[in-house]
Chain A
Amino acid sequence: MNQEQKYEAAFAQLQDIVRKMESDEYSIDEIAVQLKEAQRLIKFCKDKLTKTEQEIQKIQVERE
């Protein structure tokens, strides 16, 4: 539950960055920082997905 929330929070943050980017809310100085943060969030989300998938597979193996 907690992990799911974290994923959702990260995803929401990512969406927020994209929205601000698209509506030109960032100064040049901020762009690089925000891009870097966005990449970190994307990696976090993708890792979380992969990890969850692995856990599900592991649980299934244990069950069998």
Chain B
Amino acid sequence: MNSEKRLTLYELNNLVKEVIECEMPDEYWVEAELSECKESRGHCYMELIQKDERNATPIAKASARCWASKWMLVRPYFERTTGQQLHAGMKVLLKVYAQFHEAYGFSWIITDIDPTYTLGDMAHKRQEIIRQLKEEGVFDLQKELQLPLFCQHIAVISSETAAGYGDFCNQLVDNPYGFKFQTQLFPAIMQGEEVEQSIINALEHIYNYQLSHFQFDAVVIIRGGGATSDMSGFDTLALAENVANFPLPIITGIGHDRDESILDMVSHTRVKTPTAAAAFLIDHLKTVLDILNDSQEQIVRLAQQKLAYYKSQFATIAELLPRLFSNVKVRQEARLDNLNSRLTHHAQQKITHYQLSIINLENRLPILLDRRLMTEKHRLQLIEEKAKSLDPTLLLSRGYSMTMKDGKIVRDPQVLYQGDEIETRLEKGTIKSIVK
């Protein structure tokens, strides 16, 4: 044991270094996933990992680094192409060579990164998320929402300090039509790893805010002014689900030139920038205003048409009216004349009738009088004859006498007493005697 040659750690590591340098002098393209990525003093330090496809347990791990001289060239190209910063969870294709440092151990030294590989992987992931959203039936939910006509109460999700947020607010306030918008900021982190959860939290705040305050018409998610264009946070399933299922229309203006993010795809409307989002809201209201103005004009025009129609109708009737009325008048006058003539005719008839009656009476009167006179005469005659037949002188002339006492006729001798003076009337004179 002791006779064997002893090596210092440096010597041993140096041995390894030499072996590696001799045996692996080439550069290799390697596919790996980043589990860590950080910059320090211009160099980039990464941790690479390969997971088992079935259970995701790591089956290979290694450190990798990209020296500042390379990194300053590789990084901008990568970010420009993919629209993303290198970050944990990302699949990358790296050109590496092996290096073993006596003090720092093994490391892959990166000389190039192929962004198209990452892009392909990202696209694949995005397609997977889209497929899942469609399968859940939520992909088009936002598109089915209708932006209210008077879309003026806006909940804004943005970073509080972002220049884009200021632009958005100014644009709304300074709109040329004088529309009034009411905005309420729900701050969120719009870059880096926390984007997803931060926006989801903001949406939740908006939802709860509405329960206790007032109803918003729409939600605007904006981002702008930042130097980087890392869009990975906007391409997650959880955020897409939250946005798709949100009950208000969501307008995105998260500013990027590359393909749409999934957030853009599921949102109600996507525009590029915060100012474009403001312009969209102003245009929407302007469209409504135009519709109102058009409707107003149309109503006025229709009303005028209708009025003109009635006017012309009235003119026709008005021209007809005197003629029609003169017909009425003639007819009415004829009726009146008819009534009048019937009236006078009957009145005349009646008067004539009464006149005839009077004449009739007049004629009858003398006859009646004569008849009456005759009757009276006759009656008088009868009475006269009757009276005549009763005249006592007639009896006296036939030899009858009449005995009277004190001027009264005596019919019974019993009523006479001795010494009474009686008068006996004869035809020619009277005899006075005393009863014996």
Known contacts being A14-B336, A45-B336, A56-B321, is A35 close to B343, with CB within 8 Å?
yes
| Interface of chain A residues 41 through 57 with chain B (CB within 8 A) | 42, 45-46, 49-50, 52-53, 56-57
For A49, give its contact among B322, B329, B354 (CB under 8 Å). Answer: B329
**Contact: B347 with A60, CB < 8 Å?**
no
Q: List 5 A-B contacts (CB under 8 A).
A: A31-B350, A38-B339, A38-B343, A53-B322, A60-B318
A59, CB-defined interface residue at 8 Å: yes
* Apart from A21-B350, A56-B322, 7 more pairs, CB < 8 Å: A14-B336, A18-B339, A26-B350, A38-B339, A46-B333, A49-B328, A60-B318
**Contact: A49 with B350, CB < 8 Å?**
no
Known contacts being A14-B339, A31-B351, A45-B332, is A21 close to B346, with CB within 8 Å?
yes
CA distance A49 to B350 in the complex (A): 31
Q: A52 — which chain B residues lie within 8 A by C-beta? A: 325, 329
Interface string of B288-325 (1 = CB under 8 A from A): 00000000000000000000000000010011011001
**Contact: A21 with B321, CB < 8 Å?**
no
Q: How far is the CB of A13 from chain B (nearest CB, A)?
A: 11
For A42, give its contact among B319, B326, B340, B351 (CB under 8 Å). Answer: B340
Question: Which chain B residues have a beta carbon within 8 Å of chain A's beta carbons?
Answer: 315, 318-319, 321-322, 325-326, 328-329, 332-333, 335-336, 339-340, 342-344, 346-347, 350-351, 354
CA distance A10 to B123 in the complex (A): 98
CA distance A59 to B319 in the complex (A): 11
Q: A11 — which chain B residues lie within 8 A by C-beta? A: 332, 335-336
**Contact: A35 with B354, CB < 8 Å?**
no
Known contacts being A18-B343, A53-B329, A59-B318, is A28 close to B336, with CB within 8 Å?
no
| Interface of chain A residues 24 through 44 with chain B (CB within 8 A) | 24, 26, 28, 31, 35, 38-39, 42
Residue of B nearest to A14 (CB): B339
CA distance A14 to B315 in the complex (A): 36
Q: Main secondary structure on chain B at its contact with chain A?
A: helix
CA distance A10 to B340 in the complex (A): 13
**Contact: A49 with B333, CB < 8 Å?**
yes
Q: B319 — which chain A residues lie within 8 A by C-beta? A: 60
Q: A18 — which chain B residues lie within 8 A by C-beta? A: 339, 342-343, 346
Q: How far is the CB of A46 from chain B (nearest CB, A)?
A: 6
List of 3 A-B pairs having minimum Cβ-Cβ separation, nearest first: A21-B346, A49-B329, A18-B339
Q: Tell me the count of chain A residues lying within 8 A, CB to CB, of chain B.
A: 26
CA distance A45 to B336 in the complex (A): 8
For A15, give its contact among B329, B339, B347 (CB under 8 Å). Answer: B339
Q: How far is the CB of B328 from chain A (nearest CB, A)?
A: 8
**Contact: B343 with A21, CB < 8 Å?**
yes
Known contacts being A45-B332, A52-B325, A53-B326, is A22 close to B342, with CB within 8 Å?
yes
In this complex, the member of B319, B343, B350 whose beta carbon has the largest number of chain A beta carbons within 10 angstroms is B343
**Contact: A24 with B350, CB < 8 Å?**
yes
**Contact: B322 with A60, CB < 8 Å?**
yes
Known contacts being A45-B332, A53-B325, A56-B325, is A63 close to B318, with CB within 8 Å?
yes
**Contact: A49 with B343, CB < 8 Å?**
no
For B339, give its contact among A42, A49, A63 (CB under 8 Å). Answer: A42
Q: A60 — which chain B residues lie within 8 A by C-beta? A: 318-319, 321-322
CA distance A28 to B357 in the complex (A): 13
Residue of B nearest to A63 (CB): B318
**Contact: B333 with A28, CB < 8 Å?**
no
Q: How far is the CB of A58 from chain B (nearest CB, A)?
A: 10
CA distance A44 to B329 in the complex (A): 13
For A21, give its contact among B315, B326, B329, B347 (CB under 8 Å). Answer: B347
In this complex, the member of B326, B339, B342, B351 whose beta carbon has the largest number of chain A beta carbons within 10 angstroms is B339
Q: B346 — which chain A residues lie within 8 A by C-beta? A: 18, 21-22
Q: How far is the CB of B37 from chain A (nearest CB, A)?
A: 91
In this complex, the member of B332, B344, B351 whose beta carbon has the largest number of chain A beta carbons within 10 angstroms is B332
CA distance A17 to B354 in the complex (A): 19
CA distance A23 to B168 in the complex (A): 98
**Contact: A57 with B322, CB < 8 Å?**
yes
Q: B326 — which chain A residues lie within 8 A by C-beta? A: 53
Residue of A nearest to B354 (CB): A28
Q: How far is the CB of B338 from chain A (nearest CB, A)?
A: 9
Q: How far is the CB of A27 from chain B (nearest CB, A)?
A: 10
